[in-house]
Amino acid sequence: MDALARAGVVGRSNNVPEPLTPASDVATLSLFGYDPLKVYTGRAPLEAAAMGIALGPGDWAVRCNLVTVENEEMRDFTADHISSEEGRPLIEAMQTACGDTIGIEFHAGVQYRNLLVCRATAAGGVPLDATTRTQPPHDIPDRPIAEYLPSGGGSEVLRELMTRSREVFRDHPINRQRRERGKRPATQVWLWGQGRAPSLRPFAEVYGPKGAIISAVDLVRGVGVLLGWRRIDVPGATGYLDTDYAAKGRAAVEALASHDLVCVHIEAPDEASHEGKIDEKIKALEEIDRHIVGPLRKALPKQGAWRLLVSPDHRTPLRTRAHSYGAVPFVVAGTGIESRGQQTYDEAVAVESGLAFEKGHELMSWFLR
């Protein structure tokens, strides 16, 4: 990445405009060239698209985390990174206990990331509206949960589901097995990120290139699907620190042969920040550099005219373990990009750069054209 900086240019972009919450849903839309102030409707609908769940007019999707709450504090927003195989029976248990009685649907996703869908035509459906307020669990590590519970329209039903999940999960065989193995149990669901289906113009219609998305995270996959990009699933990609970086790099290089634009998303640095693990964050950046950025930099010139962009979507400082507002550094190198004498790719260089996009969604157009 430092070599890219020396060959190209380092700048900064603000991908999360206020008053939207700093998170990957908003920031990813910006990075992909869409103004979130105009198109963002919520996080969960983007994940529903990746899961193949259609939302009708008036339907709401809600993100459903499996979490560990201890002493009424958010101890772990991933339930100790519960596996998909363990999470599915817990979500199915919630559907059995609650789905039929109040006309809602629980859908198992990847690991701790699952979905609640509220159908507008369902009797007893959750009356969510524009006043509904929820809190991402990853932004309240080790904090008392009482002041972060859902509020506004439909919040009483969301809170009731969260409370009911404690009863469903308490003696579930999955949690008994996890306790026996010394793992944290999933003590309840946490509902947040609600929204209705967004309307996005296809990327090829707006910008021209045909794209592909490589990610292990349904949120990012969902944005790609809604943009009309091809979804490429890579075996060994986990969305965590143990992801197969090299496999993602190989898949990206292969995709260059049949796509104009390939996006590789890696969740590991964000996860390391949420856990406050500086060594793991450094390792993740090194693995991205070695197995993804390096191979792409080597392969791209073989395709003809080329450009390579490396960027986070949003800030996740280690000191707070939570997302925050503010510009992030990017680096671009390739055809038509002249070196500006910058030596490293980092925040310090980006702050001094004359290339900045206060409206982060404008970066994509500049990158392509």
| Per-residue tens of pLDDT for the chain, all 369 residues | 999 999 999 999 999 999 999 999 999 999 999 999 999 999 999 999 989 999 988 899 999 999 999 999 999 999 999 999 999 999 999 999 987 656 689 999 999 999 999 888 765 566 788 899 999 999 999 999 999 999 999 899 899 999 999 999 999 999 999 999 999 999 999 999 999 998 899 999 999 999 999 999 988 999 999 999 999 999 999 999 999 999 999 999 999 999 999 999 999 999 999 999 999 999 999 999 999 999 999 999 999 999 999 999 999 999 999 999 999 999 999 999 999 999 999 999 999 999 999 999 999 999 999
Q: Name the domain boundary from 195, 215, 238.
A: 195
Task: Note the pLDDT of residue 123.
Answer: 58
Asked whether residue 21 is domain-assigned, the answer is yes
Q: Name the domain boundary from 195, 226, 248.
A: 195
Q: Same domain for 348 and 252? A: yes
Asked whether residue 47 is domain-assigned, the answer is no
Q: Same domain for 266 and 122? A: no
Q: What are phi and psi of 67, to 5 degrees?
A: -130, 165
Dihedral sign computed on CA atoms, order 232, 264, 323, 138: positive
Question: How many independent structural domains does the chain possess?
Answer: 2
Asked whether residue 339 is domain-assigned, the answer is yes
Asked whether residue 46 is domain-assigned, the answer is no
The neighbour count for residue 366, using CB atoms within 10 Å, is 14
Q: Same domain for 214 and 127? A: no
Task: Note the pLDDT of residue 67.
Answer: 98
Asked whether residue 68 is domain-assigned, the answer is yes
Q: Same domain for 85 and 157? A: yes
Q: Same domain for 186 and 218? A: no
Q: Same domain for 183 and 244? A: no
Q: Name the domain boundary from 141, 171, 195.
A: 195
Task: Note the pLDDT of residue 101.
Answer: 59
Asked whether residue 50 is domain-assigned, the answer is no
Q: Same domain for 120 and 219? A: no
Q: What crossing angle do the helices spanning 24-31 and 43-50 adopt, rounded to 10°? A: 70
Q: Same domain for 206 and 334? A: yes
Residues spanned by the domain of 153: 60-195
Q: Same domain for 30 and 131? A: no
Where on the phi/psi map is residue 163: left (φ > 0), alpha (ψ -120 to 50), or beta?
alpha
Q: Same domain for 263 and 316? A: yes
Asked whether residue 54 is domain-assigned, the answer is no
Asked whether residue 209 is domain-assigned, the answer is yes
Q: What CATH number corresponds to the domain at position 275?
A: 3.40.720.10
What pTM value is reported for the model? 0.84
Q: Which two tokens stand for residue 288?
A: 């991205």
The answer to whether the CB of 226 falls within 8 A of the CB of 198 is yes
Half-sphere exposure of 147 toward its Cβ, with a 13 Å CA cutoff?
A: 5
Q: Give CA separation, 202 vs 49, 104, 212, 348, in Å.
A: 14, 30, 13, 35
Q: What are phi and psi of 10, to 5 degrees?
A: -105, 135
Q: Same domain for 205 and 188? A: no
SS3 298: helix
Q: Same domain for 157 and 277? A: no
